[in-house]
Amino acid sequence: MEIRHLQYFKAVAEHLHFRNAAASLFISQPPLSRQIKELEDELGVQLFVRNNKRVALTEAGKYFLTSVDAIFAQLEESKNIARQIHRAADSGELKIGYISSVYQPYLAEVLKSLRAEFPYIKTNLYERPTIKQIEALEQGQLDVGILRAPVQSEQLTVHTLFFDPFMVVVPATIKKIYDRQELADFIKDKPFIFFNKEYAPQYHSKLIEICYRMGFKPDITHEVNNVHSIVQLVEAGLGVSILPLSLKQQYANLQLTFVDLKDIPVTTEVVLAYKKSNISVALSWFIQNYSPK
pLDDT digits (tens, 9 = 90+) for 91-126: 478 899 998 877 777 888 899 998 888 887 889 999
Q: Across residues 186-197, what is the average pLDDT?
A: 90
Give the domain CATH number at 205. Answer: 3.40.190.10
Q: Which residue has the higher pLDDT, 100 or 189?
A: 189
Judge residue 282's burial from the number of C-beta atoms within 10 Å of its C-beta, 0-12 exposed, 13-18 middle, 19 or more buried: buried
What is residue 87's predicted lDDT score, i.e. its pLDDT?
Answer: 59
| 156 and 225, same domain (yes or no) | no
Residues in the chain: 293
The listed range with the strongest mean pLDDT (166-175, 177-186, 208-217) is 208-217
| 121 and 145, same domain (yes or no) | yes
Range of the domain at 180: 166-266
Residue 90 has pLDDT above 60, yes or no: no
| 145 and 227, same domain (yes or no) | no
Domain boundary at 55, 88, 121, which? 88
Judge residue 273's burial from the number of C-beta atoms within 10 Å of its C-beta, 0-12 exposed, 13-18 middle, 19 or more buried: buried
End-to-end CA distance of the chain: 56
What is residue 145's predicted lDDT score, i.e. its pLDDT?
Answer: 95
What is residue 88's predicted lDDT score, i.e. its pLDDT?
Answer: 53
What is residue 173's predicted lDDT score, i.e. its pLDDT?
Answer: 72
Give the CA distances from residue 24 to residues 28, 49, 71, in Å, rounded to whole numbers and listed in that order. Answer: 10, 21, 20
| 177 and 205, same domain (yes or no) | yes
Give the domain CATH number at 55. Answer: 1.10.10.10
d(CA 91, CA 267): 35
| 181 and 262, same domain (yes or no) | yes
pLDDT tens-digit readout, 38-83: 888 988 999 998 877 788 999 998 999 999 898 888 888 888 767 6
| 36 and 84, same domain (yes or no) | yes
Q: Of 196, 202, 259, 250, nearest to 228 (Cα)?
A: 250
| 171 and 250, same domain (yes or no) | yes
Q: Of 236, 214, 233, 213, nearest to 223 (Cα)?
A: 233
Give the H/E segment covering residue 208. helix 201-213
| 155 and 280, same domain (yes or no) | yes
Cβ partners under 8 Å of residue 63, min gap 6: none
Q: How confident is the model at residue 225 (pLDDT cuts 50, 70, 90)?
A: confident
Q: How many domains does the chain have?
A: 3
- Phi then psi dihedrals of residue 102, to 5 deg: -120, 160
What is residue 243's predicted lDDT score, i.e. its pLDDT?
Answer: 92
| 158 and 207, same domain (yes or no) | no
What is residue 279's predicted lDDT score, i.e. its pLDDT?
Answer: 77
Q: Of 214, 201, 219, nearest to 166 (Cα)?
A: 214
| 67 and 112, same domain (yes or no) | no
Domain boundary at 88, 103, 137, which? 88
Judge residue 36's burial from the number of C-beta atoms within 10 Å of its C-beta, 0-12 exposed, 13-18 middle, 19 or more buried: buried
| 189 and 234, same domain (yes or no) | yes
- Percentage of the chain with pLDDT > 70? 94
